[in-house]
Amino acid sequence: MSTVPERSDIEEEYKWDLESIYASDEDWEAAFDSVESRLGEVEQYEGRVTESPETLLELLELEEELMREVSKVVSYARLRSAEDTRDQEYQALSAKAENLSSQASSAVSFVEPELQELDEAELDEFVDEEPALAEYEHYFDDVLRSKPHTRSAEVEELLADLSDVTGAASDVYSMLANADMTFPTVEKPDGDAVEITQGNFTKLQKHTDREFRREVYEQFYGEWADVRNSVGAALKNSTKKDVKLARARNYDTAREAALDGPNVPVEVYDNLLETVRDNLDSLQKHAELKRKALDVDELRMWDLYMSVTGDEGPEVEWEQAVEWVTEAVAPLGEEYQQRMAEGLESRWVDVYENRGKRSGAFSAGTYDTQPFIMMNYQDNIESMFTLAHELGHSMHSELSKEEQPWQYSSYDIFTAEVASTVNETLLTHYLLENVDDDELKRHVLDQYLERVRSTLYRQTMFADFELQIHQVAEEGGALTPDAFDEIYGDLKAEFYANAEVDDHIAREWMRIPHFYYSYYVYQYSTGISAAASIVERIREEGEEAAADYREALRMGGRAYPIEVLETAGVDMTSPEPIQDALSVYDEYVDEMAELEGLN
């Protein structure tokens, strides 16, 4: 019987090194107590932010000192809680850290409203008088830009203080999906039993036995049906929270508020939805290719993850994945490649799934720590590409921290998803061009098509769903599980017009955690489009283009995302990068059809 191991059964070399943050929980407690006791130090500056350039600089330096330590405290607790969501001690630690983060945000909430009492000319005078403030010029620009949407110091403090409460719907969903829900054990065609989990569901949907896939699909979504009302309530309240917070800051819509943070024009979102809709024929051609490869009369939802090549694909063990991913990034320069290799040897990655572990994958860390990558590695090609993806995030953070001061070291998701997808795209080219294994290459090409399907198309469909449910809330409509089903089911039927959409898949919205991150998912789609343009330029122009890309990564948050990508040679205010990526996808669908004899 195949079972998910307990965390204690996994060897240390495959676990991330959280002791590099704090050697023990006791050290974490000491750091927590220290920074909590110091939050009151900022109170002496309230009402004095614009008193003088010297006072402003003192305050900004104190804020940095405190927030850097808060970030470490929060990061450690979050990562510990992700290791095993059943562990109540670490769930309590995480809740305690989130409360500290809320206190810290509240403590400094007066800074920006008071800064906005100055105009651009007055801030320029401050910089002239105190040259050290020059490092904050982009920050000052961003603060003044948001002035129409910043409330009084009292309201800002209240909103900051409520931050841990406004995240409650997401917390409830995460605990339900990762800690409380369990899924049935099913019998594989060879007689072995396997427990369905959030982590292995997609892998099981790639099994060659169609009846087994159907059983897994129905059992999995059957469990979600049992918590339909709870998940529906969580998503309803998360959506309403987005709308209310946007209105509190004088935005017309939640989307406008979310995109204004990174200063991304709303037209970028509209361009994405429109361009993808104009190219649904390519997605449906891919779906038809799957139907032919499976030799079935009708493509069903439990067939969507199946490879066009007709099987699950070769196994890729962890060590092999590490070798190939490291070799693939060579076009980005020796220093980039070596830095990444050293990180993999230094336990950046928590590799394998264990019971209670948070599902999916992510990259995290702070300005004062190494990166940390959570995986649920499954010994397959898809997991290898996920590793490349998360390493792109981690290397972005490393280069940004190396070049930028603390206030600019973090970057917006809009550019983050470019860095991750550049690595994936480079891995595709490397494997197709350098690995002498025709079977692997067939699956890599299939994997490329799947990445575009699941990222550019699927995430855009998610973005459309997110827009529609927020519009319902903004218009005073009712967000019920039935309403979610109807909106999601209609989108799925539109995108997969040549496949059979059933009631189970209409509930797929229930298992998507990103719907609790306001207007987040569209950035996966813009990211893969920008990445395709960047990689093509690097392949054509070599080191000059690679240097531009590395410079864009090093910019961190010193400029707005659209400007950062312009440094790398991409204009995301135009639909052109999206259309180019979809055109390449369409060409590869035709190439795959010819390769498999399915024309």
pLDDT digits (tens, 9 = 90+) for 515-564: 999 999 999 999 999 999 999 999 999 999 999 999 999 999 999 999 99
Q: Say whether 154 sits in a helix, a strand or coil.
A: helix
Tokens of 592: 């795959």
- Quick one: angle between helices 210-225 and 228-248, nearest 10? 60
Q: Could you give the CA distance from residue 14 to residue 2 in angstroms, rounded to a whole number?
A: 20
Best CA proximity match to 95, nearest among 159, 26, 172: 172
Q: What angle do CA 427, 531, 463 make, to 5 degrees?
A: 115
- Burial track 405-437 (b if 16+ CB lie within 10 A, e otherwise): ebbbbbbbbbbbbbbbbbbbbbbbbbbeeeeee
Residue 312 clears pLDDT 80, i.e. is over it: no
More confident residue, 195 or 439: 195
**pLDDT of 203:** 86
Asked if pLDDT for residue 164 goes beyond 80, the answer is no
The residue type of 354 is: N
C-alpha 590/C-alpha 598 separation (Å) is 9
Please list the residues that pair with 195 across neighbouring strands: 185
Residues of the chain with CATH 1.10.287: 185-226
Lowest-confidence pick of 92-101, 311-320, 377-386: 311-320
Distances (CA, A) of 243 to 161, 247, 509: 18, 6, 19
- For the entire predicted model, the pTM comes to 0.85
- CA-based nearest residue to 329, from 549, 568, 564: 549
CATH 1.20.140.70 in the chain is located at 7-166
**CATH of the domain spanning 7-166, picked from 3.40.50.11260, 3.40.50.2300, 1.20.140.70, 3.30.470.20:** 1.20.140.70
Number of H helices, E strands in the chain: 27, 5
Confidence bin at 157 (pLDDT 50/70/90): confident
Write a three-state SS string for 365-412: CCCCCCCEEEEEECCCHHHHHHHHHHHHHHHHHHHHHHHCCHHHHCCC
pLDDT of residue 15: 97
Question: What would the pLDDT profile of 574-598 be if each residue is shown by its tens digit?
Answer: 999 999 999 989 999 998 998 888 8
**Residue 2 scores a pLDDT above 70:** no
To the nearest whole percent, how much of the chain has pLDDT over 90? Answer: 88
The pLDDT value given to residue 254: 97
| Catalytic-role residue among 112, 390, 398, 474 | 390
447, 306 Cβ separation under 8 angstroms: no
Whether 347 and 15 have beta carbons less than 8 Å apart is answered as yes
Using DSSP's 3-state secondary structure scheme, residue 596 falls into coil
pLDDT of residue 342: 97
* Closest listed residue to residue 72, CA positions, set 38, 15, 32: 32
Is residue 390 annotated as a catalytic residue, yes or no? yes
Spatial CA neighbour of 535 closest among 424, 446, 434, 431: 424
Q: Which pLDDT value is given to residue 438?
A: 85
- List, for residues 176-218, the tens digit of each pLDDT value: 998 899 999 999 999 999 999 988 899 899 899 999 999 999 9
Kindly indicate whether the domain formed by 185-226 is annotated with CATH number 1.10.287. yes
DSSP string, 408-468: HH---HHHHHHHHHHHHHHHHHHHHHH---HHHHHHHHHHHHHHIIIIIIHHHHHHHHHHH
User: Using CA atoms, how far apart are residues 452 and 588, in angstroms rounded to an integer?
Assistant: 11
Q: What is the DSSP annotation of 285-351?
A: HHHHHHHHHHT-SS-BGGGTT--TTSS------HHHHHHHHHHHTGGG-HHHHHHHHHHHHTT-EEE
